[in-house]
Copies of this chain bind each other. A is one copy, B any other.
């Protein structure tokens, strides 16, 4: 059993949120790797996708593999011999940060749906507070993956001068209607599950069905048809893997989705999922540019940026990565744009380690 390597940062109380709510006595969890230099100028912050924890990689206290294990460590692309790496669990996520499953100090009961409306700007501000608490005035690099890439844009825009360089991974300057539609349907699958019970579920009455459908829809949109043609084709399950249920699973791709869902449903708080999902829909950098994405991005000040995207990503399509690259360049950054054709879709950053390592390690190595 590995120990918990989490540290916590207590947010200022009250912590005022973008959409008008506030939290009292809230905190965010984070983990770190490597050593902060005496000049405090080698910090690299990672903001995560919707569901990962702060445990991005193994460390001395918690040797279990992290969600980006292959990318972070001594001699790896994000080299912990050089960088002091921080990964913050998003505010609103249930992996140690204050979230809808947390106790509301005002009532002594879990917030559930009384948790204030959450925006990615709040996620960014909470992460910024954690970084500042470590005595770091400026990050050497801010890395944002998927939803974390949107949080990173908010971070840089709301805290000018707080970031020297930026790595944008498979993300978006605003949610497009296709992504909104997918996430809305995921939320609906949870909300329509009678066990969700307007957010008042417990372990004995848990919206497993809704969470399972939401997760499967997630996995379908995180990967790509091209990858699955090669990986699953039309391969059937062996007879002993099949059940007698009419309309039960028959193809390997169906049991692959089922495996993903089973591993996920009980490891993520459904209300937290709903809040973070909706925050992703709401995010729109053009709010800061009088309706223009480019004008919004132009307000971000970083010296250098690497923007990576994948042609097979249907959730955060390549054109959105191009928008980010163009906007940061127009804002004066020196921008490197890497368009990969990894077959794994949106999840390529977690799977195609070779290409992502080369791009990210190369960029960081040249700093």
Binding site for B on A (CB under 8 A): 113, 174-178, 180-182, 184-185, 187-189, 191-192, 194, 199, 209, 212-213, 216-217, 220, 224-225, 228-229, 231-234, 246-247, 249-254, 257, 274, 278, 281, 284, 314, 317
Chain B min CB distance to A211 (Å): 11
Nearest-CB residue, chain B, relative to A191? B247
- Evaluate contact between B176 and A228: CB separation under 8 angstroms: yes
Within 8 Å CB of A189, what residues of B?
Answer: 189, 213
Within 8 Å CB of A274, what residues of B?
Answer: 247
Chain B min CB distance to A200 (Å): 12
In-complex Cβ contact of A185 among B180, B184, B216 (8 A): B216
Given contact pairs A178-B229, A185-B213, enumerate 16 new A-B contacts (beta carbons under 8 Å): A174-B234, A176-B225, A176-B228, A176-B229, A177-B231, A177-B234, A177-B251, A177-B252, A181-B253, A184-B253, A189-B189, A192-B212, A199-B246, A225-B314, A247-B274, A250-B281
Chain B min CB distance to A140 (Å): 33
In-complex Cβ contact of A254 among B184, B228, B234 (8 A): B184
- Evaluate contact between B257 and A225: CB separation under 8 angstroms: no
- Evaluate contact between A228 and B185: CB separation under 8 angstroms: no
Nearest-CB residue, chain B, relative to A284? B234
8 intermolecular pairs with C-beta atoms under 8 Å apart = A175-B234, A177-B232, A177-B252, A178-B224, A181-B257, A185-B213, A185-B257, A234-B284
- Evaluate contact between A278 and B247: CB separation under 8 angstroms: yes
Chain B min CB distance to A154 (Å): 16
Nearest-CB residue, chain B, relative to A189? B213
- Evaluate contact between B257 and A177: CB separation under 8 angstroms: no
Within 8 Å CB of A220, what residues of B?
Answer: 178, 181-182, 185
Chain B min CB distance to A343 (Å): 12
- Evaluate contact between A251 and B180: CB separation under 8 angstroms: yes
Given contacts A174-B234, A220-B178, A314-B225, contact A249 B194 (CB under 8 A): no
In-complex Cβ contact of A113 among B209, B233, B246 (8 A): B246
- Evaluate contact between A229 and B177: CB separation under 8 angstroms: yes
Chain B min CB distance to A319 (Å): 9
Cα distance A257–B216 in the bound complex, in angstroms: 19
Chain B min CB distance to A23 (Å): 17
Cα distance A188–B247 in the bound complex, in angstroms: 8
Within 8 Å CB of A224, what residues of B?
Answer: 178
In-complex Cβ contact of A178 among B194, B228, B278 (8 A): B228
Within 8 Å CB of A317, what residues of B?
Answer: 225
Q: Name the residue among A187, A220, A231, A317 with the largest chain B CB count within 10 angstroms.
A: A220
Within 8 Å CB of A254, what residues of B?
Answer: 180-181, 184
Within 8 Å CB of A234, what residues of B?
Answer: 174-177, 180, 284
Given contacts A177-B233, A234-B284, A247-B278, contact A209 B192 (CB under 8 A): yes
Q: Which are the 5 A-B pairs with shortest beta-carbon distances?
A: A178-B225, A177-B228, A177-B253, A177-B232, A192-B209
Chain B min CB distance to A74 (Å): 38
Chain B min CB distance to A201 (Å): 15
Q: Name the residue among A181, A216, A317 with the largest chain B CB count within 10 angstroms.
A: A181
